[in-house]
Structure formats: C-alpha cells, structure tokens
Structure 1
Amino acid sequence: MRVVLSTYGSRGDVEPVVGLAVRLRELGAEARVCAPPDFAERLAGAGVPMVPVGRSARALTAAPPRPSSLPERAAEVIADQFAAVTAAARGCDVLVATGMLPAAAGALSVAEKLGIRSVSVTFQQLTLPSPGHSPLAYPGRPLPPGVTDNRLRWELDAENVNALFGEALNTNRVANGLPPVDDVRGYVVGDRPWLASDPILDPWHRTPDLDVVQTGAWILPHEQPLPDELEAFLDAGPPPVYVGFGSMAMHAQKETAQPDVAKVAIEAIRAQGRRAVVLRGWAGLALIDERDDCFAVGEVNQQALFARVAAVVHHGGAGTTTTAARAGAPQLVVPQLADQPYWAGRVAALGIGAAHDGPAPTFESLSAALSAALSPETRARATAVAGTIRTDGATVAAQLLLDAVSREKPPVSGCSSNSQSSTGKGESPWLT
C-alpha cells in the first residue's frame, strides 16, 4: 500500500505525521510526507521521504497575517497543495490530510481530482462541530459575545470559513477541473473525520452529526540521547524547570511586557529555588546572564528531557501537552492563541498542572502559577495520569488505513479506477 501524508503548519502539525509515516513503514506500507521545507532534516532523520510544499512555515509564523490578508494567504497555501501534492499522490492508495484548514482543503481536493481515497485528521477536537464546545474564532472575525448557543456559533463559524477560504479554494478547484464547494468546513471535516488525540486529555463526546474515529495521539518514540552538555547539567543538581514555547515563542515574546519572555520565566523559576532549561525555539530565546543554574537548548528529545524535569512551562500545543503528560511532568501552560487555551484548561481540569491567565506573563503571575504546578499534589496527579495516556495512537491509525484499503480493493499499481470521489459538498470520499 502507498500512502501520502499532507500537512502544513508548525512542528506540532508535522511531528504526528512523522510518527504515522514510520508506523506505516513498519507495517510494510510505503509512505511519503508533503510538508513545509522547514522540516526536511526532521523527516530525513526519521527515514521518511519528503516532498516540500510551499514556503517556510517559520516565515509565516514570524509575520502573523493581518485579518484582511487571510484569504490571500489561503489562496497561496491551497495553490501550493495542488502544485506539490498532485505529483506526490499519483498512484497512491490513500491520502491523509491535516494541518491548517486551507492546506487540508487543498490536499483533499487533490485526492478528489486523482480519485484517491482520503481521510481528514485533526489533532484536537475544537475544529470538529459539536454542541459540546464552541469553535475557535478567526482573526478579525470574533464570535458575537451575545451568541452563547454552540450550535449557532458553529453556523457562524461555517460562514466565516466560507468567507475567508471559499473563494481561494474554489478558484483553485475550478482551475483543476473540480466543481466548487459550498461548505468549505463541511468539505474538510467530512462525515468520518479522525481525531488523533489522547482520549484522556481530549475526550470526544459522541454527537449524532459526526462519526469521529479517535485513534489516540500519533507520537513516535524518540531514541536519540540528550546532548552530553545537557546530561551534565541535569546531573549537576536537582531537576530543573523546562521553559519552551516552540514555534509560538515569537508570539510570546511580543505579548509579554518584559524585555523578553525568557527573563520573566527565569526570574520566576529562580524565585522558586529552581534551575531552568530554556528552549531557544523559533524566536531564539536566550539566557539572561552567565549563572550556572540555567541551560539553553535547541532541538532536543523532549520525551527524554521531560522525564527528568520538575515541571514543563510551555505554550499549550497539543504535542507538548501530550508529551509532558506521558512523562508525568507537571505543566504550566501559558497559552498564546488558537487551541492553546483549550489545552491549558484541560491541564488544569485534570489536575496535572496549572493554566496561566492570558498570554502575557509577569513575574508575579508566572510565580503564582508555577508555585501551583510545583506542588506535591500536582506532581502526584501528573504521575498518576501518565499511566493512563495511550501510546499506540500511530499504530492504531496505520492499521486502520491498511485494513480499510485491503478490505475495499485488491492491490493494484494505481487507484484512480477503483475509488470514489466526493461530490464537493462536504461528503467524505473515505470508504468505511
């Protein structure tokens, strides 16, 4: 079986796809990943073939779009999907689409064009319509505060998605011989979306409108050792507090009222009598002095590191939240945007950490939240929950793909003549 995995976004949008690609390969399937060029080294290190798509995702993060520019950027992302994914997906049996919504819409359209089965995946449930939660608001299009019914909010969300991305998607679809869609969100979500998140951290409550398949989070075990210098730092004293905002570091840097977010964090950690490990991230966070109680790192095996820290201070990405939970490390989430406030709330609700109120920490606010995260009660709860986090999500997803394709058709060299395509009105081409 041949599978193409398409994503576009930050590290959190790419890392799970790497995990699935490796599991597919272990089960005898061929898998290639279409992703931003930023992650070529990561994919090469995992031995996964990569097709670069579009321009640097880091460049997009460095210059967050104005609300008025969202449709223009969406058109670029969708056009990039048609240009790169079409060639990569020819002859494949199934396409897996995830990442930012315009990218997923473009990739699913490519699958439709080629007559390939497809599955739409999200890494958190907030993009799946449900009366149990509210949709995320788009920049420049806040949800009216007077509308509190979630069903009405999801109707408004569908209108916003169409307004932002409809023209961009349909222009590219028509240019590629496909009919326009009248419900962009419905087209991307489909009838049977996959939710690649842990059911303890992100429990999906069934709704009659969607047949959601929750596989568990797609996490690839990392085997690379920690750098010798970091090992020496860890061995030289008590467990430190980790601080990292990943690709959100630039946003955190702009939001904080202090000279930089690293200064706020380090001073708050020192006030607790703790050492610190600081992830440089895309913003290049740095140490604030030459004292030996702090250590700066670049890309590192977080699975190994989080098992040896006193707490993890982070932005609330799905991947970091799950990795810290699996390690049993107490968390302090300083959410910046998108789904991060949701993950902060889940961490607090489970008792495995604390949620900072807002994206701009001060010394006082971070100190108070860090004190709660470092309490013995939080550590005990984090340890208990760690044992309940699933570790087989990528394996489950890979086996589902293999089983479905082998059940629906015999092996052939291509798949265009043996598959169904969607109608362009939100009906999933995925065969169950």
Structure 2
Amino acid sequence: MNHPPAEASPAPHTVTLDDVKTAQKTLSGVARVTALEGSRHLSSLVGAPVHFKCENLQRTGSFKLRGAYTRIAGLSADERARGVVAASAGNHAQGVALAASLLGVRSTVFMPVGAPLPKVAATVDYGAEVKLTGQVVDETLRAAQEYAEETGAVFIHPFDHPDVVAGQGTVGLEILEQCPEVATVVVGIGGGGVAAGIAVAVKALRPDVKVIGVQAEGAAAYPPSLAAGRPVSLDAVATMADGIQVGRPGDVPFKIIGDLVDEVRTVSEDALSSAVLLCLERAKMVVEPAGASPVAALLSEPEAFEGPVVAVLSGGNVDPLLLQRILRHGMAAAGRYLSLRLRLQDRPGALATMLEVLSVADANVLDVSHVRTDPRLGLTEAEVELQLETKGPEHCAAVLTALGEAGYRVIG
C-alpha cells in the first residue's frame, strides 16, 4: 500500500494562485508546456469537445517533475548541501532524480526491491543513487525517513507539501491558457497533490470551471475522508493504478480538495484497463493506469461531464510487462476476448471442423486445450477449451450463435 508518512513540513494551509504563478516562473525552461490534444472518440461519447492534457509526454514521463523541482529549488543553500531523499516505486523517483540533478543537488531515492527494472534504470540515469529496500512502498518510505533523520538529507514528499502542490498547479495554468473555453477539468487523485494544485489555479481564475477528481475503487481514500472532514487511512489498497495507490490523503492537498474540488468519482479496474487501451488505440498514447483514470471516468459515465472537457493524462511510465497484462484485461473488459468450453465428438477431423466454424465466424483462436481423458466425458466425447479474440460483444454473440447452429454444445 502506498501510504506516505506525513512530512515534517509547515502546518496545512491554502496554496495561493501567486504560489502557482511563482512556481511557473521557477519551472520555465525546465518543465515542458505539454500538448493539449483532442479526442474525437470521447468527444462523440460526451457530446462535447474532450481534450487530453498530455503530461505523459512531460520530462520523466509524468507531472511529478513540476512539484519536485519547485520543492528542491526552494531549499536553502544549507539544505541543498545536505542533499535530498525520496521514496517511490516510479514517477516521483524519476522526478526527484532529474530535478535534483538539474539543480546540482545530491539525491538518494529508495525504491522497493520489486520495482520494475526500467523505472530503476531511469532513476539512476537521471542522477540519483538508488537504494532497493523493502518489499512494499510503506517499508521503502520508512527507510527513506530513517535515512533523512540519520544523514540530515531533506525528505521530498510526493504530494504533502505546499511547494509540491504549487508546482503541480502549473498544469492548471497551462490548461486555461490552451483551452480558455474549458468547462470541466478531470484529474486523477492519489495523495492529491496535482488535483489540489490544479484546483487552486483554475478556481482562482475561472471559478465557474468544474474540477473533478478520480480515484480507483480499490484505493479511494478521499470519499470517506471528505465525509469525515479529515484524512482517513484505508486498511488496504489494491489497484493496477499504482500511481494513485495511496492509502491516506495528504494533509495539505486534503484541505484544498475539500474546499475547491467539485466532486471525487471512483472507477473500476475494468474501466481503467479499457481507458489505457483506448488511449493506445485511439490516441496513440502510452498512458499508465493512473494517468488514464480521467478517461476511465469519462468512459464510465460520459453524460455526467459538461464540456469542453480537459482530461489530464498525468503519466505514461508503465512497465512493458504490466502494460501487456493491462491490455489483455482491457480487451476482455471490452468484450474482445471470449473464453469458452464445449463438447464435441472424439473422432478424426472433429477439432478441425470446429475450428473451421470459428474461421468462418471470423474469430481469432488464441489458445486451444483439447481434453480426451476425463471421467466427466462420455466414451466418444472430447472437451475443448478455447480462448478467442473477437471484435466486441456483438461479435461474441455471433460466434456463440454460429457454434450452436453447427451443433456444438457450449458448457461454460
């Protein structure tokens, strides 16, 4: 569970528009002004223009550089001399590593032992010393905190600091500049740093614009926390969207989100995987599940959003092996995989005849398991388990109809 401990920082207070504008000046020439791209498919679903704010194309592959650089740039000379330390399984690690390198500050980043090798390698390439510690992020965070206490290095929290929130808020300023007619901004929420920062910028300049946060159902700490009026820790979190897999809201962003964010929605794992698939297929964008959470919300209930809509694609750092699994999950959620078992007569050519039926039905066979010896089978029966690639729910129904008309009995 990604549940960062509270940083020794100023008491929670409201980050101002001036703070965000100052951060924008600090980030000039460092963070990219990322593109705003239209989505014709989502626009047709919503019934109004939908745009992607492509922070997946930011340096280090996510918005995290904005907050990390703003925070480290604000350190005193003495603090910089002591170096900085962070803990992360991915995006924050890379953001801190690059920010520290650009500012000439020594950085140490603790990452879990099981962190994906591409993310570890990228963090090292950006200039950090990486220490692989702990099996889960909680253990890694504790190790980073202990290191900070022992060495005097400044702990750089991923979201729970005013400077970090201000840096992330520069995304909101860019959205208003690039899409002045925007009516709704949709952004993923983990600890809440980027959503809080965007809300500060957007609501100060355009209070009529709705800001909607999105959490994964398996890591939705904000709804119960907002209901309680204080940050509440979840007992457990579980989601493919590791970038927003946070078990407790940060104190600083929680106050801002409670005051300024219009609504926090939750999305299912099926919706997240479908959103990643849509970004890849329709927008030609590699987006991690956390970054695709706003798209998942739009897919889940498109009529609920007033347009024009800007969906923040907050990151694109996803391990290739995980991406492969997510895409399979997304295709299954979209009805493009069909798993079934059926019985046929155990005689020469029977399997080939059945496969011909599937060929005519235009179903692509991914895997076949052929069982002849099972006490459940009759003397002349065989059982076949199939994994098929289809074109969607209607095609799945058509394939099942074709098998039935050909005399095959589907049993599961």
Higher strand share: 2
- Greater C-alpha radius of gyration: 2
